Amino acid sequence: MSLLSCVRAQEDEAWRRMVRVYSALVHRWCKNVFELQAADIQDVAQDVFVSVAGAIHGFKPGTAKGSFRKWLKVITLNKVRDRLRRDGRQPLGIGGNHSLADIEHSISRIPDESDEAENVLVLRLVLEEIRSEFREATWSAFWMSVMDGLDTDVIAERLGITTHAVRQSCYRVRRRLREELNELVDDVNS
């Protein structure tokens, strides 16, 4: 089952993993796009995931709503707006009393889903999440091949395994990575 399916099935571990991976993006948007202060970022992120928890069953990937990440961006934008409205004269963002107006224009500054830095961030966090599921030799073979770009023969020699075992290791990790990213990150090629 994909991570999204597991979250919908109310599996605690799946929810923890999703929050760990995607809170990094919410924090990134709040800091880099909306220019919120650290304490405010934590509050907005908490509000975002409370909303996600309440609406996750209604999210359908591949529909007009788009990908999970796009849906999450919209929720984040709305929570930032709510926060600024609620706080009235005490703007959270840099820019004084004009913060709410600036936020209204910030949506265009949120990177496209093809933003390479976002893709790398999500991919790195998901890889950290799944690493413990593999033996060290399997992970090392995958890492040396995919991340370091080493030749299969070189990896096999270094690890003392066959070239077939190297290819199998890469296949297993990539398959698991695709499962994890299936519905959530439509645009990261694994």
Choosing among 1.20.120.1200, 3.30.413.10, 1.10.1740.10, 1.10.540.10, the CATH entry for 3-110 is 1.10.1740.10
CB-count exposure of residue 153 (10 Å: 0-12, 13-18, 19+)? exposed
Q: Are 8 and 188 in contact (CB under 8 A)?
A: no
Strand (E) positions, 42-180?
A: none
Reported as a single tens digit per residue, the pLDDT across 22-78 is 999 999 989 888 888 888 999 999 999 999 999 998 887 766 456 788 888 889 999
Predicted confidence band of residue 161 (pLDDT cuts 50, 70, 90):
very high
Instruction: Dig out the tokens for 88 from the structure.
Output: 């009235």
Mean pLDDT of 101-117: 55
The residue-averaged pLDDT of 142-157 equals 95
Which residue shows structure tokens 């933003």? 115
Q: 63 - beta bridge partners?
A: 66
Q: Which residue has the tokens 């070239």?
A: 163
Tokens of 43: 């509050």
Q: Taking 90 as the threshold, does the pLDDT of residue 14 lie above it?
A: no
Residue-level pLDDT at 123: 86
Whole-model pTM?
Answer: 0.67
Q: Give the mean model confidence (pLDDT) for residues 101-129.
A: 68
pLDDT value of residue 186: 42
Domain ranges of the chain: 3-110, 117-181
Rounded to an integer, the average pLDDT of 93-118 is: 55
Q: Which CATH number fits domain 117-181: 1.10.760.10, 3.40.190.10, 1.10.3720.10, 1.10.10.10?
A: 1.10.10.10
Statement: residue 81 has pLDDT above 50: yes
The tokens for 150 are: 């080493």
Distance, in Å, from the CA atom of 11 to the CA atom of 72, rounded to the nearest integer, reads: 20
